Structure 1
C-alpha cells in the first residue's frame, strides 16, 4: 500500500503531539513530545521553555526530525508521518502573533487555552518555536521493514 497525502494529513490533524528530535552541538541526540499546531502541514508551532534541552539544542543546531503518529495503534497497524525540518524560536512580532492565533485555536480545540505574546515573551519562562518541514515521508507498508516513501502534501 502506498501512503497518500490524505493519509498524512489525517494523521497530522488527528494528533495532539509531535515528537521532536534534536541534537546538541556535539551531535548528542534528544527527543521530546510537544503539543503542536500547524499551517498547511509545513509549518509547526509549539511553546517551550528556552532552557530545556530541545530548545537549547535548536539554538545551536536548527536541523530537527519530526514524527507524528497515533501511539495507541496496534503493533504493526500504525502509520506515522516523518519530517526533516529547520526549527527556531520565533522572535518577529507579526509572525509570532499569527502563529499564536493558530496555536491558540488548536489549543482551545483540545481543551487548552488562548496564548498571547505576553505568555511567550519577557520573563514568562516560555517561548514560541517554529519548525518548517522540508520533506514528508511515511512507511510504504510493502513488506519491507522501515521502507519510507516521500509523500507530497502540496
Structure 2
C-alpha cells in the first residue's frame, strides 16, 4: 500500500495546505473578519466602568472644593444670665440679644442659658443650664418667637 497513504503521511495538511503554508484565517474565527474583541474594542462592562470612573474623577474636585478652603465663619455667643426670666416678668427690658440678628454662612451661634427657666430664641429652645451650638450652611431668613424680647419676636438672617 505504498501509493495509498493518507494525506497526513504525505506531508499534506488535511485542509489541502502544505506544511509550509500558513492559514490566513483561524479555523475557529468568523469568516467575516475579526470580532470587536479581537480588534481591541472594550466590552460594555469596561465602557461602563470607564464612564463611572470618569464621572467620579470629575465630581471629586467639585465636592472637595465645596468643603475645603472655605473660610471659617465667626462665632457668636449669647449668654442668658441668671434671673433673666424674672426680670422679663417684672417688666424690665433685658438686652441679651438684639431684635435682629445677622449672620453669614458658616457662622456658629452658641447659646448658653444660665437662667433657671427655658428660653426660646427663634427655632432654638434652650433648657435651664443648657448650652446649644448651631452652624449655618444655607442662606435663610427666620422670623420667629423669642422669649427674651418684650415684642416676643426675633429676626435672624443668614446671608452669604
Normalising by the smaller structure, the TM-score range is under 0.3
Task: Give the TM-score normalised by structure 1.
Answer: 0.22
The structure with the largest alpha-carbon Rg is: 2
**Taking CA–CA contacts closer than 8 Å with sequence separation of 6 or more, which of the two structures ends up with the larger relative contact order?**
1
